[in-house]
Chain A
Amino acid sequence: MGCDAERVAAVLRAGGASVAEHKAELIELDRAIGDADHGENLDRGFAAVLSSLDAGVPETPGAVLKTAATTLISKVGGAAGPLYGTAFLRAATKLGDASELDAAAIATGLRAALDGVVARGKAEVGDATMVDALAPAVEAAERSHADGGDVAAVLSAAADAAKEGADSTVPLTARKGRASYLGERSVGHADPGATSTALLLRSFAEAAR
């Protein structure tokens, strides 16, 4: 069974709820190596996405994702705004006006999101950024789809890989973003962006079940 616009909106609402729930944790992670604004910024952005969806859900999954993108770009303020905004925007563009998303579309959309984040932030795997969570998530999603996984299975595989990827940033020296100013002092901390990416994918996977 595919994901229609209402389902995609529900998935985003679950993402927003997860960000709100983990706001303090994200703030703490970012306080250690950044400027402690990631939890606050992302929560403000998703709260705005949710109120926009409450006012009316657009007709297609792509349009829902585009609404999320433009809202996050305007409301987040920090680097997460352009990065998540670009991720959702590229996915929305890739998915076009399809009325339902199947497992293949989810994997394709995630790949487009990753390409967008890499182009925008110019980070690679190993720089201790959200790319460390998103890149393995995309690969896992593509593998799951190739193995015949449905939407829920593809998202679940992505979430598992993203969590592993976020954990892998702990021993890394940050090379992009605010944490890179700390150099080796960023070692020993999970990257807040990678962590929020993993949290979002986990909540998407659970909401899509």
Chain B
Amino acid sequence: MSGERVALVVVSHSGGLADGVAEVAAQMAPDVTVRPAGGLSDGGIGTDFEAVLAAVTEADTGSGVVVLYDLGSAQMTAEMAVESLPEPEAAVVVDAPLVEGAIAAAVSAQGGGDRAAVADAARAAAGRSEVTDTAESADGADSEDAAAAESGAKAEITLANEVGLHARPAALLARCVADVDADVRITLGDTEADARSVFSLMSLTARKGDTVVVTATGTQAEDAIARITALAERNFDE
């Protein structure tokens, strides 16, 4: 396994759709290779096995590839391409919503997630609106005990940037804590989000002027709070 990031391939029936999804995902994750493989070689609608195979082969820098697809036969084409690789285990085809999955995967890859983590991030994008579930699971007795045993930290941040926790700032926030050894939660009112999930953050719909509470537990809790506070003070680089 090299130090390179996991790469993504976006398989779509349409060249325009694949290019667009790759463009949006790449904007969230500037250091991640995101290859589009959409449409037939003559520009028609469909999936081109050779093009998908080439994209997966070219995208892999040694850390593996996560392949996302749009509809039915794109999945089959993607699976055939992966099975045709010299080392099929180098890539994985994930069942995830294309746009949300690609962005969540790109952010996870940017943060240094391994192939399994990046694939999980894509799959989890399907349930992104269930922020309350995230909150409930964190309320379990086990996690409370664990939290008490570990060091915790907390901060209140008032969002001063124009768009609040919209897509790009959410991606920046998720990335800045991706490699921190701490469980980081962002709370707005009664709603709690996992700070590592772009979509969980976005579904808070925190706007300019809102005050969110950041709580972190784990060995690097203080570091996590410091990073997020610094990011907010920079107005999310707007």
Contact = CB atoms under 8 A, between A and B. Distances in A.
**A: contact size bracket:** 10 to 19
Nearest to B76: A82
B77 interface: yes
Interface in A77-105: 77-83, 85-86
B80 A85 contact: yes
A76 B118 CA distance: 31
B60 interface: no
A120 interface: yes
A85 B80 CA distance: 10
Nearest to B44: A77
A32 B45 CA distance: 19
Contacts, number: 47
B46 interface: yes
Nearest to A89: B80
Contacts of A41: 46
B61 to A, nearest CB: 26
Given A73-B49, A74-B49, A77-B48, A120 B72 contact: no
Contacts of A82: 49, 73, 76-77, 79-80
Q: Which of A77, A79, A83, A120 has the most CB of B within 10 A?
A: A77
A124 B230 CA distance: 55
A121 interface: yes
Interface string B54-81: 0000000000000000011100110110
Contacts of A171: none
Given A177-B72, A178-B72, A78 B80 contact: no
Contacts of A78: 46, 73
A187 B185 CA distance: 49
B80 A73 contact: yes
B72 to A, nearest CB: 6
A76 B45 CA distance: 11
Contact of B76 (A37, A74, A120, A178): A120
B40 interface: yes
A79 B72 contact: yes
A74 B72 contact: no
A73 B77 CA distance: 8
B80 to A, nearest CB: 5
B44 to A, nearest CB: 7
Given A41-B46, A74-B48, A74-B50, A81 B72 contact: no
B33 interface: no
A83 B75 CA distance: 11
Interface of B: 40, 44-50, 71-73, 76-77, 79-80
The 3 A-B pairs at the shortest CB distance, nearest first, are namely: A77-B46, A79-B73, A82-B76
23 contacts: A37-B45, A37-B46, A73-B80, A74-B48, A74-B49, A76-B46, A77-B45, A77-B46, A77-B73, A78-B46, A78-B73, A79-B72, A80-B73, A81-B46, A81-B47, A81-B73, A82-B49, A82-B73, A82-B79, A86-B80, A120-B79, A120-B80, A177-B72
Given A79-B76, A81-B73, 4 more contacts: A77-B48, A78-B46, A85-B80, A86-B76
Interface of A: 37, 41, 73-74, 76-83, 85-86, 120-121, 176-178
